[in-house]
Amino acid sequence: MSYPDIPRNSLSDWRQLAHGMWPSKPTFKEDRYPSLEGKVVIVTGGNTGLGYETVKSLAGSTKARIYIFSRNKEKTLNAIDDLKLEVQKEYSVKNREIGFVQVDLSDLTSIKPAVEEFLKKEDRLDIIIHNAGVMMPPQGSKSKQGYEIQIGTNVLGHHLLQRLLDPIFIKTSETNPKGLSRIVWLSSTYHMFAPRGGIFWEDINFEKVPKFNNLTKTQLYGQSKAANLIQARTWSRKHDYPNVISSSICPGYLNTDLQRHASALERYVYQYVLWPKRMGAYTELYAALSPDVKDGDHSISFGTPAKGREDLLSDEVGDKVWTWLDKETDPYV
């Protein structure tokens, strides 16, 4: 078994990688957000890190009904209490309601019950931000169904969640103004290190590579983020609902809980070279709310248009990934 084929990055790819270190300042901020009164927004993983900052900004500056989809009930309810206090302090908005639905995206059996619970609470869905994720966990980490944990959580978990939410999301989009209904898929500039075509099909879990090292860890994470970028581009082509904008983002090089598996030395360095997680919320909400974002776009920190790696952009690649994702999630629909 060989190593995956990683395409050589172009000059524009390297510029995009460098942009994460020296990004443009955000220009689409809270003073430009729409009111979203009567609208419903889901943020996965909104109880911590980047998702927490995104929920806080939405709660303080819009009137949307917001739901956090996350795994840990106690941690999320505590986070919601903290969010309410911070929203009141930073935005002078009192008693802001934020909903919670429990789901474990690394366990496909938990997703349908979570969607059923959500549907008992709401009859519409306007925006979903697929924010939750795992980055470079210990070698051999697996999802409940035995997938490598990053592709199991970041990709398959969100694919199934979106499939199950599609009926209410599409129904809502049909009565919304064009471009209001949105799906934001959290990719990463690390997709530049993914195998050619996004997925290492002969060994998706990277279990047979001759030597597992820091480079292969990067490629494995990049694989999941390339798949997220492909999902964003492929959703609209598979559904053909012109009112919807499905796009991907790299939120930025951020100091968040995603680095919890890093070494102590790496975490020490990160606090000096990475950006505050609050900045990444501007990227997420640029993709979720800005009139400048179009269907299939890819945005990078902190609200800058960009483009995915060239070999990931074809319909053929999108179809192959989508077919596999549908097949793997079919038993749980």
CA distance 56 to 234: 30
Strands (DSSP E) found in 211-252: 245-249
Catalytic residue among 67, 147, 190, 221: 221
Question: With contact defined as beta carbons under 8 Å apart, do 44 and 161 qualify?
Answer: yes
* Beta carbons of 189 and 221 less than 8 angstroms apart: no
Which string of b and e fits 256-289 if b means at least 16 CB within 10 Å? bebbeeeeeeeeeeeeeebbebbbbbbbbbbbbb
Triad 20, 7, 154: Cα angle to 5°: 60
Residue with tokens 């898929």: 185
- DSSP letter at 108 equals G
* Side chain identity at residue 142, one-letter code: K
Exactly one of 225, 246, 248, 299 is catalytic; which is it?
225
Q: In what order do the strands lie in the sheet with 245-249?
A: 98-102, 65-70, 40-44, 127-130, 182-186, 245-249, 298-300, 304-306
Does 187 participate in catalysis according to the annotation? Answer: yes
The whole-angstrom separation of Cα 101 and Cα 67 is: 7
Q: Which uninterrupted H or E stretch holds 66?
A: strand 65-70
69 touches 132 (CB < 8 A): yes
Six-digit token pair at 102? 């429990």
**Closest alpha carbon to 242 in 288, 171, 298, 173:** 173
Catalytic-role residue among 61, 106, 143, 187 = 187
d(CA 182, CA 211): 41
Catalytic residue set: 187, 221, 225
